[in-house]
Amino acid sequence: MTLVDPRLVADIAVNLFGAAGLLVASYGLRRSSPASPVARRTRTALILCGALFVARSIAWASGSALFSWITLALAAVTPIAVLVVAEGLLRRHAPRWLKLALLVAAAIAIAAGLVPGLAGMPANFLLLAGVAGGFAASGILLARRDRSSLSEGENATIRRVLGAMLLLAPLIATDFRMLWPDLPVRFGALGALIMLYLGFGPASTGGHGWERLLSLTTFAAVAVLLAASEWASGIAADTGQLIRSAAIGLAGLMFAALVSEFVGARAERRKAADPLLEAADADDFMQRLRRHPVIGDARVLAEDDLAPLSHARFDSLLDAHPLLRGSDAPWGRSPTDDGVERALSLLATYGATHAMRLSRRPLRIAVLALPQAVADPRTESELKAAQRIGEFVFERGTVVP
C-alpha cells in the first residue's frame, strides 16, 4: 500500500474547499447583482482565484510541469484582479503606473516560469514579490480612499475587506513553501475563504462586523475541537496533523456556511412581497389576511365585539399605538390607566400577543398570538405593514394600483 503525504492531502483538501467556496460566492453574486460593475469585477476575481486553487491542486497531485506553470501564471495575475476589484469598490481608477507595474511584474514571473534555469526558486521569488507588492498597493489605495465620496455602506464594505486583507496577507505567504518548508499545510486558500466570508459573503452586508467575527471564531473553535478529538484518540499522531485537521475542518465549515447563506439569500429573493399589498377592497383584504403565512390566524373583531372596551382613553391609546404589543405594556402609561386596563383585558381574553387597529369608525381590531419562535424584528415589521394596509383599505375603500 502506497502512503500519501498528509501535507499533500491537506493542501489539496483546503484548496478544493477554497475553490468551491469562491465559485459559490461568484454564482451568488451573478444571481443577486447581474448588472453591477463591482459585482462583475468581483466575480471575475473569484473565478480566477478558484481556477488557481484547482490548477495547483492538480499540479501538486500529479507533479505536472504544465499545471505548475498554469498555477504560476494564474497566481501572477491575481494582484491585477485584486486591484480591479479595489477600483470598483473605490469607484476610482488606480494610477496608470501602478497598473503597468503589476502587468510587467506578472509578465516577468510568467516568462521566468518558462525558462528552465528560472522555473524553480527564482520564478517563485519573483511571483512572491509581485503578489506581495500588488496586495500591498491595493490595500494602501483602499485605506487612503476619499471617504466622503463613498456611501456609508461602501465605506463599511471596504473596512471589512481591509480587515480581511490584513489576515489574508500572512496566510498567502504560507503558499510559498520554499520559504517555510516545514509548514504542516498551506493556508492561502483558507485565507481567501476568510476574506470572502468577512467581505463578500451573501450575508456579509447584514448585521455588524463583530457578528461575522463571532461566527468565524465559532467555526475555528469547532474545527480545533474536532482536530483535538482526533489527536486525543490517536488518529492525529503529531502537532502537524492536528493543525492540518483543524485547517481542513475550518475550510469545510466556512464552505458550508457560504452555501447555507447563498441558499438562504436565494430563498429570500424568491419570497413574494406581502400579499396584503395587493388587496383591492376590504373583502379581498380579509381573504388575503386568512392566507397570510405569518398572521393568517388573526381574529378580526368588529365594533359589536369591542363595545365593552369603548372608552376615550382606549381610543387615545390606539391612536398612539395602532399596533399594540403585549410585551410593551403599559405602553408609556400608568398600569392603572383605563386604556391600558382595557388593552390588557383584550389581549388576555383572546390569548393574544398583539392587537392591531384596522379602522377607527367603525372600530375594527385584529388580535393574534405570535409564536415566540417567529417573534423577530422582521415579523414585527410585517405586522406594522399589515396594520397600515388594513387601515388604508378599510377607511379609504379601494386601493388604487
Q: What is the mean pLDDT of residues 61-82?
A: 90
Q: How confident is the model at residue 375 (pLDDT cuts 50, 70, 90)?
A: low
Asked if residue 386 and residue 245 are part of one domain, the reply reads no
- pLDDT > 70? residue 268: no
- pLDDT > 50? residue 401: no
Percent of the chain with pLDDT over 90: 10
Give the pLDDT confidence score for residue 399 in this predicted structure: 41
Asked if residue 85 and residue 37 are part of one domain, the reply reads yes
Note whether residue 1 is domain-resident: no
- pLDDT > 50? residue 1: no
Element (H, E) at 366: strand 364-368
Give the pLDDT confidence score for residue 54 in this predicted structure: 94
Distance separating alpha carbons of residues 115 and 126, to the nearest angstrom: 13
Note whether residue 187 is domain-resident: yes
Asked if residue 340 and residue 239 are part of one domain, the reply reads no
Distance separating alpha carbons of residues 97 and 349, to the nearest angstrom: 75
Distance separating alpha carbons of residues 179 and 174, to the nearest angstrom: 8
pTM confidence score: 0.67
Pair 251, 17: CB distance under 8 Å: yes
Q: What is the mean pLDDT of residues 48-62?
A: 92
Q: What is the mean pLDDT of residues 336-364?
A: 87
Note whether residue 329 is domain-resident: yes
CA dihedral 310, 316, 318, 319 (to 10 degrees): 140
Distance separating alpha carbons of residues 92 and 90, to the nearest angstrom: 5
Contacts of 319 (CB under 8 A, 6+ apart): none
Other residues' Cβ atoms within 10 Å of the Cβ of residue 388:
15
Give the pLDDT confidence score for residue 2 in this predicted structure: 45
Q: What is the pLDDT of residues 101-134, one digit of tens each?
A: 999 988 988 888 888 766 667 777 888 888 888 8
Q: Is the dihedral of CA 327, 333, 335, 338 positive or negative?
A: negative
Quote the mean pLDDT of the chain: 81
Domain housing 326: 275-396
Give the pLDDT confidence score for residue 271 in this predicted structure: 52
Contacts of 99 (CB under 8 A, 6+ apart): 80, 83
Asked if residue 332 and residue 216 are part of one domain, the reply reads no
Asked if residue 227 and residue 164 are part of one domain, the reply reads yes
Distance separating alpha carbons of residues 129 and 121, to the nearest angstrom: 12
Percent of the chain with pLDDT over 70: 86
Last residue of a domain, one of 206, 238, 270: 270
Task: State how far the alpha carbon of 396 is from the alpha carbons of 231, 281, 304, 389, in Å.
Answer: 70, 9, 21, 10
- pLDDT > 60? residue 267: no
Give the pLDDT confidence score for residue 77 in this predicted structure: 92
CA 306 to chain centre: 46
Contacts of 308 (CB under 8 A, 6+ apart): none
Kindly state the cell numbers that stand for 232: 486525543
By C-alpha distance, which of 381, 390, 376 is closest to 290? 390
Note whether residue 255 is domain-resident: yes
Asked if residue 299 and residue 192 are part of one domain, the reply reads no
Contacts of 399 (CB under 8 A, 6+ apart): 279, 280, 281, 392, 393
Give the pLDDT confidence score for residue 237 in this predicted structure: 64
Q: What is the pLDDT of residues 309-323, one digit of tens each?
A: 888 898 899 889 888
Asked if residue 165 and residue 187 are part of one domain, the reply reads yes
Distance separating alpha carbons of residues 55 and 69, to the nearest angstrom: 9
Distance separating alpha carbons of residues 52 and 38, to the nearest angstrom: 21
Give the pLDDT confidence score for residue 283 in this predicted structure: 80
Asked if residue 306 and residue 227 are part of one domain, the reply reads no
Last residue of a domain, one of 270, 290, 311: 270
Q: What is the pLDDT of residues 126-177, one digit of tens each?
A: 888 888 888 889 999 999 988 888 887 778 778 878 887 887 788 888 887 7
**What DSSP state is assigned to residue 340?**
H
Q: What is the mean pLDDT of residues 254-260?
A: 86
Indicate the residue type of 300.
Answer: V
Contacts of 215 (CB under 8 A, 6+ apart): 197, 257
Asked if residue 295 and residue 259 are part of one domain, the reply reads no
Note whether residue 401 is domain-resident: no
Last residue of a domain, one of 220, 252, 270: 270
Asked if residue 248 and residue 297 are part of one domain, the reply reads no
- pLDDT > 60? residue 188: yes
Task: Name the more confident of 263 and 72.
Answer: 72
Asked if residue 254 and residue 284 are part of one domain, the reply reads no
Asked if residue 303 and residue 258 are part of one domain, the reply reads no
φ, ψ of residue 3 in degrees (nearest 5)? -85, 140
Q: What is the tally of structural domains in the chain?
A: 2
- pLDDT > 90? residue 258: no
Render the burial of 88-106: b for 16+ CB within 10 Å, e for the rest: bbbeeebeeebbebbeebb
Note whether residue 111 is domain-resident: yes
